[in-house]
Amino acid sequence: MKFSAQLAALPVFASLALGTSVMPATAQAALDYNEETHLIFMREEEKLARDVYLTLSNMYPNAPIFFQIGDGAEQTHTDTMASKIAQFGLTDPNPNTNNLPGSIGIFTGADYGWYFTEKYNYLITAGAQSELDALYIGAFIEELDMHDIVMCPTVITETKGIPEDQCGLNYTDENPLINSYGSLLSGSESHLRSYVGQIEAIIGVGNYQAQYLPQTTVDEILGR
């Protein structure tokens, strides 16, 4: 059961920077265009994860995983990206993030608001089919997020012409971003393990198939 068919396919890449070391924070310099573009994008992508999980938690109140991750870690991730936006003096594409529930599913970024609005609507529609579908949506989001943290999201390469290896954790040399992205990546790995654990409680241990990342990368995250 995969939800990647309707979305952009993942280009082949060598690694996901698993186990990325977090460097000591130092005074930041100005970000270059690629770093700014990526940071603003990630601000909205972390909000996407939070919004989808909180919406799914209302659909499936007997599945606490959605609220636990959405209201906990994903809210923290959303706030972290907001703090980086402020730290580097950038314009927040979604300044009213904490205006719950009125901000759920609302994306106002000038460049990618349309993209996240479409993705939110699609993911919620797919997740509404069943609780198992919703768990797969959670796992899909975490796989997508890990790719987009580490390198340029596909939509950025397509709309901005920035090569895949020219933004993200594997590109930036700014320690505040390295620290924050490393934390996001670690969180997504943990969330993926949680979602897969619940999926495989239904479909059988070892039967989860990667939806966006290479299977070998997912297996490594899962400890297989």
Question: Is 198 domain-assigned?
Answer: yes
In a domain, residue 155? The reply is yes
Q: What is the mean pLDDT of residues 21-47?
A: 78
**Contact indicator for 210, 144 with CB cutoff of 8 Å:** no
pLDDT band of residue 96 (cuts 50, 70, 90) is confident
pLDDT digits 0-9 by tens, 113-145: 999 999 999 999 999 999 999 999 999 999 999
| pLDDT beyond 60 at 2 | no
Is this model's pTM higher than 0.85 or not? yes
- Measured CA to CA in angstroms, residue 17 lies from 35, 75, 212 at distances of 17, 24, 16
Question: Which residue type does 95 have?
Answer: P
| 156 and 60 Cβ atoms separated by less than 8 Å | no
CB 126 within 8 A of CB 138: no
pLDDT, residue 3, reads 45
Give the domain range for residue 99: 33-222
- Is 26 domain-assigned? no
Express each pLDDT in 166-213 by its tens digit.
Answer: 999 999 999 999 999 999 999 999 999 999 999 999 999 999 999 999
CB 203 within 8 A of CB 89: no
- Give the span between the Cα atoms of 208 and 222, in whole angstroms: 10
Q: How many helices (H) and strands (E) does the chain have?
A: 8, 0
Does a structural domain hold residue 37? yes
Q: What's the domain count of the chain?
A: 1
166 domain residue, yes or no: yes
pLDDT at 99: 65
